[in-house]
């Protein structure tokens, strides 16, 4: 959940799975720091862990944006597919929507992972950002854990029905890594050929 606050990491699946675990369908009780919890206590523990993890990641993302500023995004934005034009558009979006940008962004799939760093870059006040993130993050985590809880005993059927998503994600990661490695090797080969010292 902490990673998902700054880069998409399938928090939806993590929270739904956590909710299914808490329901007792997959295991009778959860181990929480040596204590065994089940039922409502397990649900609250899973949802609260999701909220805490995401909140810590969101704070780290805001801090990175605040300390690195726009120069950081201009230098390293290509990792997140952020061009100068997209940065300008994001800045206008933040200026227009301000608080609502964070609150709505936190409950929007995928977009929720791209709010933290820009909020710091565009100097959204930390305490207001943190409160809005906590609100949106709490709704997200409790709702998805609730979906998992509701799926409960039918989790195995649900997981089997959507297993293609897991395979697709793994495939995209492998292809992306191969493309990146190929480009890196090609650029280093071209650089060596152009080196007059050789």
**What average pLDDT does range 109-135 have in this prediction?**
83
Task: Check residue 35 and give its pLDDT.
Answer: 65
Q: How far is CA 59 from CA 34, 171, 181, in A?
A: 28, 31, 31
Task: Check residue 112 and give its pLDDT.
Answer: 75
Q: Residue 195 pLDDT more than 60?
A: no
Task: State both tokens at 157.
Answer: 């059927």
Q: What are the pLDDT digits (tens) for 71-92?
A: 777 777 666 666 777 777 777 7
How many Å separate Cα 72 from the centre of its chain? 20
CA dihedral 177, 183, 188, 190 (to 10 degrees): 170
Q: What are the pLDDT digits (tens) for 125-175?
A: 889 888 988 998 899 899 988 888 888 766 566 666 666 766 777 788 888
First to last CA, the chain: 48
Confidence of residue 97 (pLDDT cuts 50, 70, 90): confident
The SS3 assignment for 44 reads helix
Task: Check residue 149 and give its pLDDT.
Answer: 83
Cα(79)–Cα(68) distance, integer angstroms: 15
Task: Check residue 194 and give its pLDDT.
Answer: 60
The domains of the chain are located at: 3-161, 164-198
Confidence of residue 56 (pLDDT cuts 50, 70, 90): very high
Q: Residue 192 pLDDT more than 80?
A: no
Confidence of residue 181 (pLDDT cuts 50, 70, 90): confident
Task: Check residue 82 and give its pLDDT.
Answer: 65
Residue closest to 64 by CA, chosen among 137, 120, 138: 120
Q: The tokens 């089997």 sit on which residue?
A: 160
30-44, 90-104, 122-136, 162-176: least confident range? 30-44
């Amino acid at each position: 959940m902490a990673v998902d606050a700054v880069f998409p990491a399938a928090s939806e699946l993590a929270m739904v799975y956590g909710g299914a675990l808490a329901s007792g369908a997959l295991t009778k009780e959860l181990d929480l720091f040596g204590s065994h919890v089940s039922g409502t206590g397990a649900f609250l523990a899973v949802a609260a862990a999701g909220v805490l993890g995401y909140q810590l990641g969101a704070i780290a993302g805001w801090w990175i944006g605040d300390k690195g500023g726009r120069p950081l995004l201009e230098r390293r934005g290509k990792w997140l597919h952020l061009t100068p034009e997209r940065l300008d558009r994001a800045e206008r979006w933040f200026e227009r929507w301000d608080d609502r940008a964070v609150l709505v962004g936190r409950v929007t799939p995928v977009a929720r992972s791209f709010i933290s760093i820009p909020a710091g870059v565009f100097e959204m006040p930390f305490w207001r950002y943190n409160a809005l993130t906590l609100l949106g993050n709490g709704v997200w985590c409790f709702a998805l854990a609730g979906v998992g809880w509701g799926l409960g005993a039918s989790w195995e059927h649900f997981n089997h029905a959507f297993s293609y998503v897991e395979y697709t994600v793994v495939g995209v990661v492998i292809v992306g890594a191969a493309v990146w490695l190929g480009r890196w090797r090609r650029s280093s080969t071209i650089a060596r050929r152009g080196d007059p010292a050789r």
